[in-house]
Amino acid sequence: MSNERIGFVGLGMMGLPMARNLVEAGYAVTVFDLNEATVNSAKEFGASSTDSAAETAAQSDIIITMVPDSHHVEAVIIGQNGILEGLKAGSVVIDMSTIDPEMGKKMAKLIEAQGSNFVDAPVTGGVIGAEAGTLSILVGGNAEAFERALPVLNVLGGNVSHMGPVGSGHTTKIANQIIGAAALAGVAEAFVLAKKSGLDMQAFFNAVKDGAGRSWALETLGPKILDGDFSPGFMVKHMQKDLRLADQLAAKTGTSIPISGLIAQLYRSVQASSSDADSQGHQALVQAIELLSNEQARG
């Protein structure tokens, strides 16, 4: 194993188990997060902590960021007490958030100006994948930076793909989210239709789960929908953010994504349904179809 020292900024639902996996793999990991409880959890499994992203960067050779949105990445890298203030020449910053590719490119230029490298490496696979270390990781960056980051990424994921230069990882993740959202919308419609047509829902699920409609959404989220389980592995607000990024990228490239726009509106209906809807699991999309159909797709 490499003796690279790892800094980890952002200990949310994904980041905390990812940091744990790095500690368990033998890496020295220093963490920073504004949430004291998650920092304490990280210290319990062997990480050390600092009082700022700048201090974390100063103590690390490879710094990982895992935060919700583009402006959060900008803040933790170039904001007050941000990574850039403590970054040593020769370091690598790996952003594993899902953000606007242009923001990643902007961060890369600033980091490269200080003699370090930037890699965008967003992930897919949810909390289950983060905990198990089986995430799919979509990487953008130069070949040298990718090879240096690869041993660390291999701890966190089971499938690491180098997609091209900086920005390619973020772009791949946005396109991936379009696929995931469309598959989930199909599951939601099918479940409500089956239920309203009088089918036994468990029998329906068992019959279709290995057929042509097989997908991660059906296999992983289908049983949760049948149980009425809307606990988050990936939150409604984060899927809505990813669809916003998709809309922005589509506008920039002149791409038509009408299905994604409709799904974003369905999510908006879910978000308007209650004060805590934003924090439900993104399988709550089914609630919009249920409302329109006057039927619940529960087993």
With vertex at residue 85, the alpha carbon angle to CA 71 and CA 21, rounded to the nearest 5 degrees, is 70
Q: How far apart are CA 100 and CA 204, in angstroms?
A: 39
Q: Report which of 60, 108, 106, 67 is spatially closest to residue 86, judged by C-alpha positions.
A: 60
Question: How buried is residue 189: exposed, middle or buried, by Cβ count under 10 Å (0-12/13-18/19+)?
Answer: middle
With tokens 């690279």, the residue in question is: 4
Q: Is 105 tagged catalytic?
A: no
Q: Name the catalytic one among 173, 195, 209, 241.
A: 173
H-type alpha helices, 79-200: 83-86, 101-112, 126-132, 143-156, 168-196
46's tokens? 């062997």
* Residue 17 three-state SS: helix
Residues 6 or more apart in contact with residue 62 via CB below 8 angstroms? 4, 5, 6, 7, 91, 92, 93, 94, 148, 149, 152
Q: How far apart are CA 31 and CA 145, in angstroms?
A: 22
| CA distance readout (Å), 143 to 1, 2, 161, 243, 249 | 20, 18, 12, 29, 25
Report, as residue numbers or ranges, the catalytic residues.
173
